[in-house]
Every structure is written in C-alpha cells, then in structure tokens.
Structure 1
Amino acid sequence: MVDGDGLNEKHKEDFLFGAQGIPMQGTGMDLSGQYIALLHMTGKWINNSRGNPDHVLPQNTAFQYVPAVKGKFGLVKENHSIAVDPHVIPGDAKVEIEGVGLRFADDKGSAIKNYHIDNFLGAGNAVVKAWLHGGVNGTQRRVKFLGN
C-alpha cells in the first residue's frame, strides 16, 4: 500500500501507478467503493522487459476523489455507457447492441478506433470474471444507431 498525491488514504501500488490501473483507465474504484480519477500525469510510461508500458512514476502523478466516472460526453454508468470512436458513432448517441441492449455513447478512448466499442459493465473482480468467462470478450455484434 502506497500514498498518492491528492489522496488521504493508502492504496495498492499497481492500482495507482500500473498499466491496468488508474493511469490507463483515467478513473478507478478503490477497495472501499470510492472513485479516484487521475488529475494529471507528467512524464512517460516506464516499459517492462518486453517493451510494453508497465507503470508510471509516483512523483509524476496526482489524483483526486470524484463522485462518479466522467466520460468525454457524459457520466459513465455501468450497463448503460459505451466508449466509441466519435468519427463512427457521435458522442451522446443512442445505439442498440444485439444481445446487449440499449447503450449510450458517453465516452471515447484513445484505443477506440473505427468500429470498436467498449461496453462499460462496471468495476471489480466479478465484472472481470464475467467478461473473461462469460463468452462476450471480443465478440462481434450488430449495432443499430438510434440517433442523439
């Protein structure tokens, strides 16, 4: 457990500074259910032995507690929000995803390109297990644009 600039409690080091944690995702939920957002990050990613981004240096980051996850186009809510490429699906758009249901384009991401959509299912280990073992990871589904 380590300190983070702007936080009044200690948190897991990989959660605050790792490539699977807040720096990559922008916002994360801590063990007590509070949302923590990256306020700013200076410097570059430190690569692991395979040359992949692995972590950031603590002195190059600052965080803040936030009441909710804020996406590019609105608040991000589980089982409601998707991240899109706004060149394909505009922000604030409403879509119907086959087998998933109605979703709203509340966010975009630097890795979201072309026809890729990220469906926000929530946070925590239960969501990760459901995603990895529920047969939905990497699936292709029809998406119907319903307008803004």
Structure 2
Amino acid sequence: MQTRINNVAVNPEAYQTMLKLEGFIKASGLDPILYELIKIRASQINGCAFCLDMHTKDIRKMGESEQRVNLISVWREAPFFTDKEKAALELTEAVTRIADHGVPQALFDKVSEQFSQSEIVTLIMAINTINSWNRLAITAGMFPGCM
C-alpha cells in the first residue's frame, strides 16, 4: 500500500496547527485515558484504520485492559465504563455524527451532570480534533504502519 500524500511533508504548518490543538487538550487536564477512549470511538465510527491502530496501542501502553479496549465500540452493553466515560462516549458519537441528529438536549444534560461547562468545551474540542485527524489520515490514504 502507498499513501496518497504526506500531510506533514507537504504542509508542515497545517500539521503544526493540529499539534497545537493536541497541546491545548493535553494541557487542559482532560483525563488521558478518557481522551484515548474518545479518539478510539471516533476513529471506529469514521473508519480510520491508521488512527484506530495508533490509539489502541497508546491506550494499552497507558495500562488499559484488553477487555475495555475490545469493548469500546459496544460501550452501552459493557459494564466496564464509568458514567463519566459513557457520557463522553455518547457525546463523541453525537458530535462525530452531528449531521444525523445533532446533539439532543437530553444528551447535553447527561454530559452536564458529569462535566463542568469548561470541561464540556474541552470535550468538544477533543472530539473535533480526532475527527480532523481522522479526515486528514483517511483522505491522505494513511494506513497502520505507513509512518
């Protein structure tokens, strides 16, 4: 397999802009495991093999169990996720698929029970960031092991 384009090489400014978003989220205090769960769930929905491969490896290195990693796509049926994680995963799904149904008020209320308003903005930024990475990787034809 071969990638279509090397985003980093042909437009390093765009890549640096994405890294600034990552830096903001990492400095925000968002739990790193929660951020990886968000990245994995969005990458599953978007079908980004490159990002899914990267972030499942990253979360395992952070000590996450195989069971939880394997069940992220079916988090509603798995008893291994906290209420806070479930709210973030549901928000991830809604924002990633925003054209389908928007973000219903009931979901926003559920998220508001688990996160402050500032944290909600950070969650939205985290979800937007991984969705942007997914779109860059998929469009460029990136695949696991290509870098």
TM-score, normalized by length of structure 1?
0.30
**Structure with the greater alpha carbon radius of gyration:** 1
Identify, as 1 or 2, the structure richer in helix. Answer: 2
TM-score, normalized by length of structure 2?
0.31
Q: Which has the higher contact order (CA 8 A, sep 6+)?
A: 2
